[in-house]
Amino acid sequence: MPIRQFQAQRMHAPRDFQSIQPTPICVEIGAGKGKHALLFTAQHPEFQLIAVERTREKFVAMQKQHQIEGQQNLSPVHADAIPWVVHALHPAQVQHFFILYPNPEPHNPAQRWLNMPFFEFLLSRLQPGGQITLASNIPEYIEEAQQQLIDVWKLPFVKEKIAATSARTHFEIKYLERGELCQQLIITKPADYVTRFDDFQPLQGQNPVKEQAE
């Protein structure tokens, strides 16, 4: 069954929302305590990374560590990723999205990233040739996402086994120490890829369109 269209115009802006400039950036969704974000920005000073985390406790931990390390190319953001992306990001602005060990939503498969209508909007924010890294320790999650890429999103990807020595996130360290299989999909957006949101400009904190009564 086809995935319904995402209603971007109905998204409320996150609390204390601040707009960003339409310059090329990388974005990590669900950055947790910021281990990957801090590593990535330290190792790649040529990239600007915005690390989005919804849980306040984890965001504060990331913020504190960022203040200690001081990477100028990292911007932690405390927000729900979906409305933040709609209000903040411009079409074809993002060089790389990182979604590392997201909640597998065992009781609500429709909320998995590649099963959501929002994924089409996310693709519209990605540059041609840009990539999405999706990592998980759950083989069924990766298999389902792989099938969605083939059947629904029609996107090229590479599946990789994550090395036992990798230590990008606290979850990754824990899973690998347990001997679990960790895998990732590296998804690439072709130059000629089209979405229904390619011309949709960020709402920049505007009030969303009110839903009409039925």
What secondary structure, in 3-state letters, does 132-174 show?
Answer: EEEEECCHHHHHHHHHHHHHHHCCCEEEEECCCCCCCCHHHHH
pLDDT at 202: 82
- d(C-alpha 67, C-alpha 65), whole Å: 5
Q: Which two tokens stand for residue 200?
A: 């949709």
Contact 89, 19 (CB under 8 A): no
| Answer CATH for 24-188 from 3.90.700.10, 3.40.50.150, 3.30.450.150, 2.60.40.420 | 3.40.50.150
**Highest mean pLDDT (candidates 6-10, 16-20, 192-196, 206-210):** 192-196
Residue 27 pLDDT greater than 80, yes or no = yes
Q: Say which DSSP state 152 is in.
A: I
Asked if the model's pLDDT at residue 19 lies above 70, the reply is: no
pLDDT-derived band at 209 (thresholds 50, 70, 90) equals: very low
In this structure, of 14-18, 21-25, 52-56, 70-74, the range with the lowest mean pLDDT score is 14-18
pLDDT at 41 over 80: yes
pLDDT for 149 beyond 50: yes
Three-state secondary-structure class, residue 30: coil
pLDDT value at 2 more than 80: no
What are the structural domain ranges in the chain?
A: 24-188
C-alpha to C-alpha distance for 21 and 89, rounded to whole angstroms: 8
What pLDDT sits at residue 23? 85
**What percentage of the chain's residues is helix, strand, coil (to nearest 5)?**
35, 20, 45
Q: Is the pLDDT of residue 211 over 50?
A: no
Amino acid sitting at position 214:
E
- Round the average pLDDT of the chain to a whole number and report it: 90
Q: Which pLDDT band, with edges at 50, 70 and 90, does 207 fall under? A: very low
What integer pLDDT is reported at residue 5 of this predicted model? 72
Which pLDDT score is estimated for 22? 63
